[in-house]
Amino acid sequence: MTDKHIIVIDDEVNICRSIKACLLPEGYIVSDFCDAQLALKSMQTHDYDMAIIDIRLGQQCGIELFKQII
Amino acid sequence: MSIEQGLSFDHEFTLQELLTGVNVDKLLQALTHNLESSVRILNVKKQCLFEAQLNATESTGTVNKTALYGELEPIGFIEACATPDSLQSAAQLIQLILYSNSRYLMASDIHIKTQRDDFEELQRRHAALEISETKYKQLAESLDVRVKQQIKTIESAQLKLYESEKLASVGRLAAGVAHEINNPLTPIEMMVSNLSRVYLNADPKSFKENLNETTSVVSEEVYKLKEMVSHFSQFAKLPEPVLKEANIAEYCERFITQHQNGWPVVKFRVLTENDVKNINVKIDHLLINQCLINIINNAVQANPTKDTLQISMSLKCENSAEISMVLFNDGVKIDNKTQKHIFKMHYSSKKSAENMGLGLAIVKKILLDHNGDIICLPLDKGAAFKINLPISERLND
Amino acid sequence: MAIYDEDNNRLTIKLVYYGPAMSGKTTNLMRLHDELNTDLKGEIMMMETTNDRTLFFDLLPLGFTTSSGLLIKFKVYTVPGQVVHDSTRKAVLSRSDGVVFVADSQTSQSINNGQAFENLEANAGRVGLDFDHLPLVIQYNKRDLADIISETEVKERWQQAPWPVTFSNALTGLWVIETLKALLKQVYDELNTEFKFSEQHNLTQQEFITQLIGANNIH
């Protein structure tokens, strides 16, 4: 059991669910978001150890989001 | 006529010629009677042309001769047993006859000449006109040939363009389809392959949660796949229109009445110009219904946040052969880039304003099958489509 | 084209009075018939319609014999002036040796005169006459009428032309014979080369004219 916190960002909700379903049995804590703004907001208050981001997020660009995180 | 021998109308007439048409027998009879002698008429070379005897016996007395004058000079002689004076007056009488006849002969000769000249001129002009006409006929024929060739060239170019456009469409569609089918397959595959791992490694409670989650995701994605298949089938199975006559204004009113409930957020309005009130069109009701449904669905889906969406149908006579129906909604406008491709076949399940899927391609096909058409009108506010349909007949008032 | 008949030792010369309708061509001819004293003078043959309009032509035959025994015969014609008779005009004009163009001096006839002269030039070409060498005199007739073009203006108009211009009144005979004399001068010069009037027939230009006009008409 680890307590690493992973954030998953993809505008397809079922992709998020699939990734979450794969990671949860490994003991990770997974938070998933379909909207980039909500994800950013969450990152201000929570500390994440890893982020899995879809490159194309509907209206927004995943790479941009990445830059913002850094 | 001397003219036939190529002589000019004003050539020097001989005595012989000047007596043409004159009843010489009667003339001689009168002369012999008057001169009481046999009479001989001689030409200018003093050869005998005509003669007549008074009676069987030979007359006695000296034979005298006097000249017969033409224009200015002697052209012949009259010879008889008579005094010079009598002969002279006989000559005068004959000269009057000759003069009169020469008028006629000259006039008729000049008449024939002018007739001939006029006729030749006429023939010449006629021949020139015929040549001109032949030239123009040939020109028209060659132009005709060239036009036909041009038409063939254009038609074959159009055909090639059409074929390549069709191929491109199919290519785009296939690419879109492939891409879209892939999307649901990813989560399905992930969930299913993860399932057995969880079953083996995790506790029953976690497995149960995972199983529920898997079932949910798979069903949702399968549903999306089925929707796709249904849309394609709809497009593939589009039947030939079965045309029935309908008054276009009445049809629109009926459509709204029947379908209003399906779109509670839409407020419909039908606007008809006077000239279209009595117009009938030949349409397949179900197919045209489908067109309107697809268009209105798009409008509603593109404006999810609007409380009320105003949709108007404006009907008018486009020209003597077609009516036009403009469907306008006061929602978001269709951007220029999208307008260009809006009727082309492409498919996407993503719900955003540009992705109309096959809906409008279906609409376009249905309308083309009706000998009509649809175009997207460029607007700054709102969105509009213009549908054209052929008029079947005008009802009389 | 003067015709020489060897058998009869006769030279026939054709003169034509040409011009627009009613300009006085026939009147000219009638005056000549009355006043010339040629040795041989024939009847004037007139072929006219009921309104005195020339239908085919008028013809006045004149002639004299030279000292050498050559009979020179003149056939003097008029043509019908009305536009419709163009083919007749061509037939009469064919092979002429000299032309008097009779113009109507009235200002209202100016266009008709012009058209008739153009017609003369065109038809001369069509019947094979060399218009540049054709003996020609321009006669402005009807000088007795009011509203006529002035002599000055006429002379101005024809200044560049090589042809003599005369002014006449055919009804009274004024300058009718003089016009003919002016034409005969040119005809003599033109035909002398071919027919050798002075060389072979001892006939000067003056005598040529005198013989035709007749003894009493010398001025």
Q: For residue B282, report the phi and psi dihedrals to the nearest 5 degrees.
A: -105, 110
Q: Is B316 helix (H, G, I), strand (E, B) or coil?
A: strand
Range of the domain at C128: 3-217
Phi, psi of C166 (to 5 degrees): -120, 160
**Average pLDDT estimate for A38-63:** 77
Whether residues B187 and A14 touch (CB distance < 8 A) is answered with: yes
Write down the number of H helices and E strands in chain A.
3, 5
Give the pLDDT score at B396.
47
For B109, the closest chain C residue by CA position comes to C91
Probe site for chain A from B190, B192, B195 (most A CB atoms < 10 A): B190
Neighbours of chain B (3+ CB pairs under 8 A): A, C
Task: Kindly report the CATH number assigned to the domain that includes residue C211.
Answer: 3.40.50.300
Range of A17's domain?
A: 5-69
What's the number of domains chain A is made of?
1
Q: Is the pLDDT of residue C202 over 60?
A: yes
**C and A touch per CB criterion (3+ pairs under 8 A):** no
C155-183 confidence digits (pLDDT tens): 999 999 999 999 999 999 999 999 999 99
pLDDT of residue C218: 52
Q: Please determine, for residue A37, whether its predicted confidence score (pLDDT) is greater than 90.
A: no
Q: Using a CB-CB distance cutoff of 8 angstroms, which residues of chain C are in contact with residue B106?
A: 45, 56, 59
Domain CATH code at residue A51: 3.40.50.2300
3-state secondary structure chain C: CCEEECCCCEEEEEEEEECCCCCCHHHHHHHHHHHCCCCEECCCEEEECCCCCEEEEEEEEEEEECCCCCEEEEEEEECCCCHHHHHHHHHHHCCCCEEEEEEECEHHHHHHHHHHHHHHHHHHHHCCCCCCCCCEEEEEECCCCCCECCHHHHHHHCCCCCCCEEECECCCCECHHHHHHHHHHHHHHHHHHHHCHHHHHCCCHHHHHHHHHCHHHCC
What integer best gives the mean pLDDT of chain B?
86
What pLDDT does B356 receive?
47
Q: Which of residues 114 through 133 in chain B touch C, CB cutoff 8 A?
A: 114, 117-118
The model's pLDDT over B301-334, given as tens digits with 9 standing for 90+, comes to 888 888 899 999 999 988 888 999 999 999 888 8
Distance CA C129, CA C92 (A): 12
d(CA C99, CA B163): 83
Q: Do B210 and A22 touch (CB under 8 A)?
A: no
pLDDT tens-digit map of C5-38:
888 889 999 999 999 999 999 999 999 999 998 9
Q: What is the pLDDT of residue C109?
A: 93
Q: What is the pLDDT of residues B19-47, one digit of tens each?
A: 988 999 999 989 888 888 888 898 888 88
State the pairing for strand pair B309-317/B266-272: parallel
Measured between alpha carbons, how far apart are the two ends of chain A, in Å? 28
- pLDDT value of residue A57: 67
pLDDT at A51: 86
* Chain C residue numbers touching B107 (CB-CB < 8 A): 47, 55-56
% residues pLDDT > 70 (chain C): 98
Is the model's pLDDT at A69 over the cut of 70? no
Q: Is B110 on the interface with C (CB under 8 A)?
A: yes
Nearest CB among B186, B197, B220 relative to A25 is that of: B197
CB-based contact (8 Å) between A22 and chain B? yes
User: What ipTM does this complex have?
Assistant: 0.86
Q: Tell me which residues of chain B have a pLDDT lower than 70.
A: 1-5, 56-60, 345-357, 393-397
Q: How many domains does the structure of chain C reveal?
A: 1
Residue C12: strand pairing partners: C3, C73
